[in-house]
Amino acid sequence: MRTPSTALLRAAIAAAAVVPALVLVPAPTAAAAPGDTVTAPLSQLISQLPVQDEDRTGYDRDAFKHWVDADRDGCNARAETLLEEAVVAPEVTGRCSITPNTGEWLSWYDEVTVTSAGSLDIDHMVPLAEAWDSGASEWTATEREEYANDLGDERSLVAVTARSNRSKGDKDPAEWLPPADSATCRYVTDWVTIKTRWDLAIDNTELTAINETAAGCEDQAVTVELAR
């Protein structure tokens, strides 16, 4: 049997060297879309929020139409929230008229029990002005209306004392946190959840405050259905 010459061996080796190696590329993962449900640790949701400077140019609260009765059952979004969050159900007459001084609610921002619906504000977890700053200025009027009346996630709208809501105003977690210590971790988790749900950005100061607050909380898994 003939042994290949040294020249032939060298040629074969050289030819093999120029053959590109086979690289296995994983199939791309489909991007999340409205209606999808995402579950991830709080820290991961924070890290995935887009970071950008805020801009309130052109903001007008009337750009967010509220409170509407989207399902036409007689209850607008404010009333729906009050009924959903009542610890003791209030009396309701007509299509959706809450009888004064009936029912009971716990304002978890400040751990105050309230027995009159008229003493409660419905807070947007992420205030309308903050939403505008963080991306909603680019939305359609319909999208802003859906945001302002979001009953699809119980964390979007919160029945709380007027005092706590007005103390908060349109501040983000860098400027305001609930006065009750028991509310801190829930609040920052819900804030991140709603920003994730609506694909809203955070600025650097807000990010720092959220991370500092979340560091003292359990890094729990959070489930959120995307609205955008």
pLDDT at 30: 55
Residue type, 202: I
What share of the chain in percent tops pLDDT 90? 86
Task: Give tens-digit pLDDT for 4-38.
Answer: 444 444 444 444 444 444 333 333 345 679 999 99
Q: What is the dihedral of CA 48, 51, 55, 58, to 10 degrees?
A: -30
CA dihedral for 33, 35, 39, 40, sign (positive or negative): positive
Q: Under a CB-based contact definition with an 8 Å cutoff, are residues 181 and 221 in contact? A: no
**Residue 201 has what pLDDT?**
98
pTM, rounded to two decimals = 0.86
Within 80-171, strands assigned E span 92-93, 97-98, 105-107, 112-114, 120-124, 157-161
Q: What is the pLDDT of residue 182?
A: 97
Residue 32 pLDDT: 79
How far apart (Å, rounded) are the C-alpha atoms in residues 107 and 158? 8
Model pLDDT, residue 24: 36
How far apart CA 37 and CA 52 sit, in angstroms, is: 25
Question: With contact defined as beta carbons under 8 Å apart, do 124 and 148 qualify?
Answer: yes
Positions of the chain with pLDDT lower than 50, given as ranges: 1-29
pLDDT of residue 203: 98
